[in-house]
Amino acid sequence: MTHPGPDARIRYHRTDWLPLRTLILLRWMAIVGQSSALAVARLYLDFDLPMGLCLMTVAAAILVNLVTNNIFPRNKRLSETQSMALLLFDTLQLAVLLYFTGGLTNPFSLLLLAPVVVSASALDLRATVIIGAAAASCTTVIALFRVPLHTLSGQVFGIPKLFEFGFWLSILVGIAFLGLYARRISTEIHAMSDALLATQLALAREQKLTDLGGVVAAAAHELGTPLATIKLVSSELLDELRAHPSWYEDAVLIRDQADRCRDILRQMGKAGNDDLHLRRAPYSATIHEAAEPHAQRGKSLIFSFDSAGEEPTILRRPELIHGVRNLVQNAVDFAQKSVWIDGTWTADHLILRICDDGAGFAQQILPRIGDPFLRNKRDFPQTRPGYEGMGTGLFIAKTLLERTGAQLSFANGTDPFLNAEERPPRCGAIVEVVWPLAALRTDRGGVLGQNMALE
């Protein structure tokens, strides 16, 4: 599902955005925690720790923080490789400290999960797998080899082997589960953020075009009278200057140039359809306008507007036009020959149904339509091998139309297992949009105000 323009080519990249100061701050917090734990264990709990080796391990973290803080600017954003290297150092530094302080009998060994979670939240899958594997390896090593905890009196502190095995297994499960969970949540948040940005850009572009059209229409309206005056005066001068050929030619040139200006403004005014008196339009005209850019793409657009009662006049909101345009584009992209656009209305609702004769939505994505970046190679029929959509177009359409009060539903027109002869004409995808009439309707009467004069 694509969206026209550069917004459709937005891709989700997670690298080159993790700030260095974030990792430095987290490491300072770890250093303070490690130093405090060592002090409490030595001074208050009377554990006989190899303090020299432990302090050297903490000093290594301090040195890395000082070096990175002085070499790189504070606003440095790390690449994936740089971030992975720093997180690997944090994992190894913590593992070495745990080795000197009892291994898995040290309850702080649970902190080996922290670098994995940070990586899953900020880096790509490759880096997360590497850091997760390093954390799992370090957990296994300190489970087998470590300096036992013992007090100054010589009492060895330990836990039953079964509990130690369970603690080792729980950390490995935690690495896998929390890593997958953090990555899943982070991926969805970033995908939604990127898709919302694409939606805002699309709406801003549509609004800009609409505003530009309003300026053109206003200019055409305001310049119409002076141009008509110039044409009238120049026509009168022609009769009086026939005896003076050079002056006569100048008067003809003035008249012709006035006609040219009128024609130019008339053509520009066709695009400038946001004049104050055209901010509302019949329902059918608005839908025709939205679908018009895709009318010459080799597929037949078949319109049908048939309901009892007077056709409502609605607001030509940019969100509505752009959203419907995206839905029509999606239908034209996948249609074989024809796209049906049916509009109906009742006393309370406006209904728009867009159908095509293509292969329809893939069954596995029907429940997820409207989510951004859902594309997978197996999600779409192989009849469109060059198709590069990622779900952004339908997400944008759904988001924009819901802002106008619409409710959207997606379905297929027929059973995908039927053969070609058994399928009805409208056998492809079906999108139905339903608006409360009160959300879009505008009375035909009422004063809209005068166009602003151009100075």
pTM (2 decimals)?
0.51
On whether the CB atoms of residues 371 and 395 are closer than 8 A, the answer is yes
For residue 391, which of 374, 411, 377 has the smallest C-alpha distance? Answer: 374
Cβ neighbours for 76, distance < 8 A, ≥ 6 positions apart: 19, 20, 21
**Which residues partner with 154 through β-bridges?**
none
**pLDDT tens over the chain, length 455 residues:** 333 343 333 344 444 567 788 888 888 999 999 899 899 888 888 888 888 999 999 999 999 989 988 888 766 777 788 888 889 999 999 999 999 988 888 888 888 998 998 888 888 888 889 999 999 999 999 988 888 887 777 777 777 888 888 889 999 998 889 888 888 787 777 666 666 666 666 666 666 655 555 566 666 666 766 777 777 777 777 777 777 777 888 888 888 888 888 777 766 655 444 444 457 788 888 888 888 888 888 888 989 888 767 888 888 887 888 888 889 988 888 888 889 999 998 888 899 999 988 888 877 777 777 666 544 444 444 444 334 444 567 777 887 788 888 888 888 877 666 666 666 777 888 899 999 988 887 654 444 444 444 44
Task: Report the C-alpha dihedral over residues 181, 186, 189, 191, rounded to 10 degrees.
Answer: -110
**Residue 331 token pair:** 């239908």
CA–CA distance, 95 with 90 (Å, rounded to integer)? 8
Determine if residue 180 is left, alpha or beta; phi over 0 gives left, psi from -120 to 50 gives alpha, anything else beta.
Answer: alpha
